Structure 1
């Protein structure tokens, strides 16, 4: 199982203290690198989407497990990036596997939805298009709130956010089924690919929720 939870461990290699001498430029460079991590996840996911074990494989290539195999990357790493990696980096939630995977999968869903509704034109009522966008944005929001809760070691709160996110995902599934029945070609192409990503978002949340419940139960036993 891919590790989508534990990079927020305070015992990890990341320096969790805020560097007081960092400027806006330092933080902007930091955020740009984290944006690249999201793009990397999205690229790997797209390449491995036909694999039944794609979530675990992407997590492996992202280096979220102990051993990560080499994979050919289309982008070359410049000297500035190499020097940056050598420096001690502060920890933020942008490095959390759940944050990266959520932003990558929801990012694809929202970006591609905008493109496909443009192709559908007036065949799809604006209200219906907005309904799906709202459901996806709500799902994204609850996923990110769950990351914050995990970072605070509030596992019960994280589960509560995941449950709310599941409601939004179920709304999205229902809307996709409705759009599919309209038999609009651009939407049909989107629906098939969107379902895969929504199922995977839900799978990641279920995995992390299970880990949270295990951690809560272990704490209760120790008490």
Structure 2
């Protein structure tokens, strides 16, 4: 989908429109970092990347807008452009789902610290990173206020759910590799399923609220 498809933003987007938008942002980000790696030492790097990304419009404007646009794309993507205030996050940090993700991170970190070889094991790294991504997506979804769009919240929750499922898959592969015992897998799965169940419940609640406000999609 072209960026132009999102130029005229509807008054309210549903979860599917937000999903498509976030997927486009992911593709743009992946393309940007690929170009950055390819042309890292090229003397015309900035101009080449701007042209490849389609940021070129008027030559005289390029120099002014490049720094602002570049910084935007270099921001940590796990924040997912969240503008949540400290007060919003403080409220989120008291929620049951945040406490569950905190317990999950603590368990994984302790497990990896006990075995130094796990830091070089791809599936262990995937378990840790996807669990962390899950927490980041939940923060992006829930650190909002009454004006936060419901469709956006659901789209972020779906991303958190996918990250949790990826973490479950990594744990299963670690058992197959002999890097995690069945008992350890039971422990981490219990934490992951608690997070997953809470995400599914939240998605149901927000979808019900969407139908209440806007009718069926």
Q: TM class by shorter-chain length?
A: 0.5 to 0.7
Q: Equivalences for 1:106-145 in 2 at 5 Å?
A: 106-122=101-117, 125-145=120-140
Contact 2:138 2:157 in 1 (8 A): yes
Distance in 2 between residues matched to 1:142 and 1:162, nearest whole Å: 7
Inter-CA distance 147–124: structure 2 relative to 1 (3 Å threshold): closer
Contact 1:139 1:165 in 2 (8 A): yes
* 2:210 pairs with one of 200, 213, 216: 216
* 1:155 pairs with one of 150, 156, 178: 150
**More helix by percentage:** 2
Distance in 1 between residues matched to 2:137 and 2:178, nearest whole Å: 31
Runs of 4+ in 1 over 6 A off after TM superposition: none
Q: TM-score, normalised by structure 2?
A: 0.52
Aligned to 2:200: 206
Distance in 2 between residues matched to 1:108 and 1:96, nearest whole Å: 15
Distance in 2 between residues matched to 1:107 and 1:206, nearest whole Å: 18
Task: Give the deviation of 1:209 after TM superposition.
Answer: 1.1
Unpaired segments ≥5 residues, structure 1: 1-90
How many correspondences in the alignment?
130
Unpaired segments ≥5 residues, structure 2: 1-86
Root-mean-square deviation over aligned CA pairs: 2.6
Instruction: Please identify the structure whose Cα radius of gyration is greater.
Output: 2
Q: Equivalences for 1:1-223 in 2 at 5 Å?
A: 92-96=88-92, 100-122=95-117, 125-149=120-144, 151-184=146-179, 187-221=181-215
Inter-CA distance 120–182: structure 2 relative to 1 (3 Å threshold): farther
SS for the counterpart of 1:159 is helix
Inter-CA distance 107–123: structure 2 relative to 1 (3 Å threshold): closer
Distance in 1 between residues matched to 2:213 and 2:95, nearest whole Å: 28
Task: Give the deviation of 1:193 after TM superposition.
Answer: 1.3
Task: Give the deviation of 1:123 after TM superposition.
Answer: 6.5
Contact 1:136 1:168 in 2 (8 A): yes
Distance in 1 between residues matched to 2:168 and 2:141, nearest whole Å: 21
Task: Give the deviation of 1:145 after TM superposition.
Answer: 0.7
